[in-house]
């Protein structure tokens, strides 16, 4: 396995190249058995790590590290084969090596790559020995060369894993994801009417939750007053608090909202994570027993996820929202790793500024002008039945469909809609097009949406739900 002796004397960029080589050599296993999310992340990372122009900058690695947090599998939903788990640790170490401490992290990448091959079910000793030999060849080839020379060597010295992949697939213990479709080039919006957008009327702002509402009263379908994609203003009046415990993981506070019991404010885990609450002074300046103030200054945010969940420990429905500030795009394309906000737990006011497709409800089935039947998911996702099934499969990729207006409402909440409901949807989509809803949402949220092939995972969790919780997206 990789040792300190093997890597001694390497320059920082050579440590990064060594780690990149480990990533590149295990890539065929990820390509064969990873989920589509893992494979896209891996391809993006290889392009960054093996850029012939020079070693990756920390700024280029950070979004990929954030995306790794999102694509990692939930062990309660889908077990990760040990070799794939080790592969992901290899990639994480390599990306971190591009930021700092390259010598230590290159060693970690080498160890993780060794573990990849030691944990396969076919001739592990043989494949692990081949990886150790490749690591030594990499070190020998890099001494005295340039970054471009190292990249060229690594791309030409990859271990042929075809036989290993075929035998692992034949064993049937690991399921492959099949062919990965190419990424779709973003289409031109408003092509149906000369590329010119029709103006969208501004929506009347309305309060969804008052600050003094402390109990969640769901609607007839068990839904929250907010939904995924909503652009809202959050606020919570600042109050005096006392620090009960402060550490790297968060701050425990005694606050008037919860007399006689503590309230915990989790720390932000790094770039891409965010919590709307503000501590004055900041958490880093606080120690146990310090006095401070906590609240939410009025701020416009957008919901990357809205859901209600319950578990054995918390059997009552818990309404949640994960939010990011307007104008801040989630690192890696997804924002579900932000700390969820429990609105009714504290005196939080929620004011709706904008909602895409306000005349549709989650789960509505519609037929578009082209005759395609689609299921609506907030904020602007329209999925065919095949894509709906793919949402439950972490190895699939549920691409959204661009609906052709006008829309005909076919089903609402499992029943035939009323004539008024059908007429309302038809009137709202009689002029204009789907792209105007995208434009209006981007204007209010301040972020750019991806194409339809990448849109569903931004707002939907892909894969089955863990059995120990009840999870309902809104």
Tell me what pLDDT residue 3 has: 74
State the average pLDDT over residues 421-433: 94
Residues 298-339: tens digit of each pLDDT: 999 999 888 887 777 777 778 888 888 999 877 555 555 567
Residue 407: per-residue pLDDT: 98
Would you state the structure tokens that stand for residue 312, as one six-digit string?
A: 């054995």
Query: For residue 348, is pLDDT > 80?
Result: yes
Q: Report the alpha-carbon distance of residue 86 to residue 117 in Å, rounded.
A: 9
81-90, pLDDT tens digit by residue? 888 888 888 9
The answer, yes or no, to whether the previous bond of 281 is cis (omega within 30 of 0) is yes
Share of the chain above pLDDT 90, in %: 41
Looking at CATH, the fold of the domain delimited by 4-171 is given as: YP_001051499.1 fold like (1.20.1590)
- Looking at residue 466, what is its pLDDT? 56
| pLDDT above 90 for 65 | no
Query: Where are the chain's structural domains?
Result: 4-171, 191-200+358-473, 206-354
Q: How far apart are CA 133 and CA 179, in angstroms?
A: 31
Say if CB 50 and CB 140 are below 8 A apart: no
Distance CA 376, CA 420 (A): 19
The per-residue pLDDT for 293 is: 95
- The string of pLDDT tens digits covering residues 451-464 is 777 787 778 776 65
Q: Model-level pTM?
A: 0.78
pLDDT digits (tens, 9 = 90+) for 180-214: 766 666 677 887 666 666 677 789 999 999 999 88
For the segment 239-252, the average pLDDT, to the nearest whole number, is: 90
pLDDT(72) > 70: no
Count Cα atoms within 13 angstroms, Cβ side, for 355: 20
CA atoms within 13 A on the CB side of 194: 2
Integer Cα distance of 169 and 39 in angstroms:
17
Q: Work out the angle between the directed axes of helices 147-156 and 124-142 (0-180°, nearest 10).
A: 150
Residue found by looking up tokens 């661009």 in the block: 402
Q: What value does the mean pLDDT of the chain take? A: 85
Of 170, 139, 173, 138, the residue nearest 155 (C-alpha): 138
The arithmetic mean of pLDDT across residues 371-388, rounded, is 94
C-alpha distance from residue 358 to each of 90, 226, 418 (Å)? 44, 11, 17
Rounded average pLDDT over 170-183: 73
pLDDT tens column, 13-36? 998 999 999 999 999 998 888 877
Arithmetic mean of pLDDT, 135-154: 90
Alpha carbons within 13 A on the beta-carbon side of 147: 15
Q: What average pLDDT does the segment 120-144 reach?
A: 90
At residue 198, the pLDDT reads 66
| More reliable by pLDDT, 168 or 73 | 168
């Amino acid at each position: 396995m990789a040792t300190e002796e093997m890597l001694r004397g390497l320059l920082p960029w050579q440590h990064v190249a060594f780690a990149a080589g480990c990533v590149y050599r295990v890539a065929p296993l990820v390509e064969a058995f990873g989920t589509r999310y893992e494979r896209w992340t891996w391809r993006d990372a290889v392009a960054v790590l093996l850029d012939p122009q020079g070693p990756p900058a920390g700024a280029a690695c950070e979004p990929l590290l954030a995306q790794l947090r999102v694509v990692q599998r939930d062990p309660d939903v889908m077990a990760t084969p040990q070799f794939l788990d080790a592969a992901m640790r290899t990639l994480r170490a390599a990306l971190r090596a591009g930021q700092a401490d390259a010598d230590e992290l290159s060693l970690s990448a080498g160890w993780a790559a060794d573990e990849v091959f030691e944990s396969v079910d076919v001739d592990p000793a043989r494949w692990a020995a081949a990886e150790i030999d490749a690591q030594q060849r990499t070190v020998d080839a890099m001494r005295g060369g340039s970054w471009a020379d190292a990249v060229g060597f690594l791309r030409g010295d990859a271990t042929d894993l075809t036989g290993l992949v075929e035998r692992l697939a034949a064993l049937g213990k690991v399921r492959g994801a099949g062919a990965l479709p190419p990424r779709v080039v973003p289409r031109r919006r408003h092509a149906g009417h000369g590329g010119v957008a029709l103006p969208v009327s501004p929506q009347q702002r309305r309060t969804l939750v008052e600050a003094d509402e402390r109990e969640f009263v769901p609607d007839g379908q068990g839904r929250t007053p907010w939904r995924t994609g909503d652009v809202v203003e959050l606020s919570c009046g600042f109050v005096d608090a006392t620090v009960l415990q402060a550490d790297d993981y968060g701050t425990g506070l005694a606050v008037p909202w919860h007399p006689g019991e503590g309230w915990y404010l989790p720390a932000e885990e790094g770039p891409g994570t965010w919590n709307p609450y503000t501590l004055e002074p900041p958490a880093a300046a606080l120690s146990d027993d310090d006095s401070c103030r906590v609240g939410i200054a009025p701020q416009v945010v957008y919901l990357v996820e809205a859901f209600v969940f319950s578990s054995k420990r918390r059997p009552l429905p818990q309404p949640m929202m994960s939010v990011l500030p307007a104008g801040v795009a989630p690192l890696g394309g997804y924002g579900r790793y932000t700390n969820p906000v429990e609105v009714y737990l504290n005196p939080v006011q929620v004011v709706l500024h904008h909602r895409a497709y306000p005349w549709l409800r989650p789960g509505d089935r519609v037929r578009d002008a082209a005759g395609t039947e689609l299921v609506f998911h907030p904020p602007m996702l329209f999925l065919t039945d095949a894509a709906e099934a793919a949402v439950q499969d972490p190895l699939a990729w549920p691409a959204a469909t661009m609906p052709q207006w006008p829309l005909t409402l076919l089903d609402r909440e499992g029943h035939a809609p009323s004539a008024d409901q059908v007429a309302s949807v038809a009137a709202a989509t009689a002029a204009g097009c789907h792209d105007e809803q995208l434009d209006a949402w981007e204007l209010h949220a301040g972020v750019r949406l991806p194409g339809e092939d990448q849109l569903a995972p931004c707002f939907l969790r892909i894969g089955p739900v863990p059995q120990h919780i009840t999870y309902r997206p809104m």
